[in-house]
A and B are shown apart, each in its own frame.
Chain A
């Protein structure tokens, strides 16, 4: 079919009663001809009845949009939507609790005698890791069954939540550490190493299980001996920095290798 005449196009655009077979041929042509589609868009815009039609549609859908849809509602809706995309709505109380433990240790340390063991320094490396475990956990994410089959589910979503967990947990612990003389330089690198290890091992065994495992090992291997001997933990000395860096590199490599496991429900949580 050659291109549609202006007259026919205008009649079609304004909803004129055209014969069935003309409509069929015309619509078939419009599907394949971008030029006629563009001409029809112009013809529709020129329709004097269009503003009235738009207004009638607006009036019809306005009640469905409901009251309170002002700027405040929209701003609040946008904020809640953005927050939800970065953090599971249910994890904030859990993250707060994760931060509360080292803060309690700080208070205890500050109020205790001078030879009190460095409680915060010992606990601080575990805090970011526990924050991550909380954020990728089926008990704190009630919608995990729906999240699991979403295309966005997987390592990028885990890393998104990890970033939030780090942003929420690190600043208060750093401030508390400075108050009792536990410099972040000593615990931050081990903390990041634990976080990476938990994600890498968590891809295979579940993040929560991995976090429990690291906590138990750190408690038995470092916290308890330090508390009983009242000595400074060697693993938090500057000399251990290359070791922690090596752990981070190895764990990151393993995480990259097994990242697909985060797409499967039940294995990584």
Chain B
């Protein structure tokens, strides 16, 4: 028991109690408890389960409707230092706009400036983030000339700026080609060693390959919390060759 306690971080990157969040008038996240430490945490669930709303709350975009939410040791929207939270936060929304005339480098450097990185650190930090997502060769190309998958990677690069302690990624590999997806999964696993990475995705391979921990949401509540192996273990008998045990486990917990 003592050993387990010692492994826990002093400050949970994410600590939520009875967290409820609205999406419009609907309560999309309904009273959930979460303690997330370093690692890659996958958020799964059917459409409308509350994944994106939960991630928006964790990214400080959407204020909680009820309950408490602490990010990196600071209360959110309740007298906490929102600016301090955001300094340690990287966020890739499900859909984001960008300045089409910007090059990848200008875009990432601009977001680095918005993240209050010291001016002399910005060029190197931007270059490192661009390298991490594999856009080195396109760094000085305008965003409007890139494919959707490359723009997604540019979005991921801005999220990585400043080595955030908490990384919130909504569908990070959407539109990215299979080869790059593989590299991004490796990148996510590496980031998860020191940071708390929360990803929402529909891509089963991403979850199985990158996540150390899974949260399955159903109608705004946590239907399952455990490792990918534990989810796979929930799979019942049957199914066909095209359906993995992981997918069958997922379907099982949603029943």
Contact = CB atoms under 8 A, between A and B. Distances in A.
Given A81-B113, A145-B97, A157-B114, 9 more contacts: A64-B136, A85-B113, A88-B99, A90-B99, A142-B97, A143-B99, A146-B111, A152-B114, A153-B114
B83 A154 contact: yes
Given A80-B106, A146-B91, A146-B158, A151 B86 contact: yes
Interface residues of B, number: 37
26 contacts: A68-B140, A77-B105, A84-B102, A84-B110, A85-B113, A90-B99, A142-B98, A143-B96, A143-B98, A143-B111, A145-B93, A145-B97, A146-B96, A146-B98, A146-B111, A146-B158, A149-B89, A150-B114, A150-B116, A151-B84, A151-B87, A151-B115, A152-B115, A152-B116, A260-B82, A263-B82
Contact of A84 (B86, B95, B106, B158): B106
Interface of A: 64, 66, 68, 77, 80-81, 84-85, 88-90, 141-154, 157, 260, 263-266
B139 interface: yes
Nearest to A73: B140
Give the secondary structure class of A's interface. loop
Given A142-B97, A146-B91, A149-B61, A81 B82 contact: no
Contacts of B84: 151
Nearest to B113: A85
B60 interface: yes
A81 B139 CA distance: 15
Contacts of B99: 84, 88-90, 142-143
B59 interface: yes
Nearest to B86: A151
